[in-house]
Amino acid sequence: MKVEQVLDILNITNQEYIEFTNIINSVNSKFSIKNLGFLKNDAPLISNSIYSYYPLMFKNIMNMGKDNLPFLIEFSHLHFISLFLLDKIYDEQKFSNSLDLLVLLDLYHENQNNLNMITTYYPDIKEEIQKYLSVTKEGFFKEKYIYSYENSLNISEIETYCYNKYSYAKIALLIYEKFCNTFLDKEIIDVLKESHDYFAVGRQILDDLDDYMDDYSHNSYNIYTNYYYKKNNLSKNLTESKPLQEELTTLSIEYLKKSLNMVKDYTESGWYRYISFYLNQALGKRNLMLNIKNKIDRLY
């Protein structure tokens, strides 16, 4: 995602972006020195993503104090990057970079320490956090070793698969809630969780439409592949199907619209703009397909 897009979604100035990025870069350097000091430098071994800035998406909804944002950004950066690295290793089932395993072990340990520290102060969320950690691990395991195009999932099972993969984000929501300046009604958190569930499905479909051949080569579960072999014999080679791509893009749009509708009262939030970003991508993808289809139809 381009910096301009991040600025727009988070509704921050370039100066604010630099300030928040400096916090993240400092975390990266400290992590490198602390855990892999034998490298004799503080070069960052983990990259930034928009999820490093995740609390900024909810600062208006949750009325977070500015003083709390540096800590929440530090937490979010380590929290989400540990998940992405684990996902990468699971996908490839090998280490293309020899440092990946070392970084993952230390990163995951660091994040667990943060979670333990936070739940010591806020024991009321410990059980729910453990539940989300458990379903995240379960999702990884099933994706790699149980789910297959040979035993395709129905839509309810696909939803559960996607919900589990995005459960890590719900952990962040539980923690952000504890740093609100005002009391936050439980219904607001429940709405955000449900919005995350719908978003998880819509976003996963879009990702899988882009990655189905790569996932297939790594024997990883993919929604496109799942649907493809529902419609075709298992002996048939996996190929591009324009009708199926259009069908799944439409399905993605439906889930993203549901996600957006859940937070229709928070149109000024970064989370609303983030969902809208992917909804617009899905709509643009489908419109392009329909335009090409119409041109071909006119030729015949």
Q: What is the pTM of this model?
A: 0.91
The closest of 165, 169, 162, 157 to 50, measured between CA atoms, is: 169
Q: What is the pLDDT of residues 125-158, one digit of tens each?
A: 999 999 999 999 888 888 878 888 777 899 999 9
Q: What is the pLDDT of residues 247-281, one digit of tens each?
A: 999 999 999 999 999 999 999 999 999 999 999 99
Q: Which run of H or E residues covers position 196?
A: helix 186-217
Q: What is the pLDDT of residue 27?
A: 87
Q: What is the pLDDT of residues 174-208, one digit of tens each?
A: 999 998 877 788 899 999 999 999 999 999 999 99
Q: What is the pLDDT of residue 36?
A: 72
Q: What is the pLDDT of residue 93?
A: 55
Q: How far is CA 217 from CA 100, 208, 257, in A?
A: 21, 13, 32
Q: What is the pLDDT of residues 39-69, one digit of tens each?
A: 666 555 667 889 999 999 999 899 887 888 9
**Residue of 44 and 119 predicted with greater confidence:** 119
Half-sphere exposure of 190 (CA within 13 A, CB side): 3
Mean pLDDT rounded to a whole number for the chain? 88
Q: Is the pLDDT of residue 294 over 90?
A: no
For residue 97 the two structure tokens come to 């970079």
The answer to whether 251 and 224 have CB atoms below 8 angstroms apart is no
Q: How far apart are the first and last CA of the chain?
A: 39
In which band, very low, low, confident or very high, does the pLDDT at 110 lie, cut at 50, 70 and 90?
Answer: confident
Q: Is the pLDDT of residue 98 over 60?
A: yes
Q: Which run of H or E residues covers position 140?
A: helix 126-145
In which band, very low, low, confident or very high, does the pLDDT at 94 lie, cut at 50, 70 and 90?
Answer: low
Q: How far is CA 297 from CA 195, 247, 290, in A?
A: 38, 18, 10
pLDDT exceeding 90 applies to what percent of the chain? Answer: 58
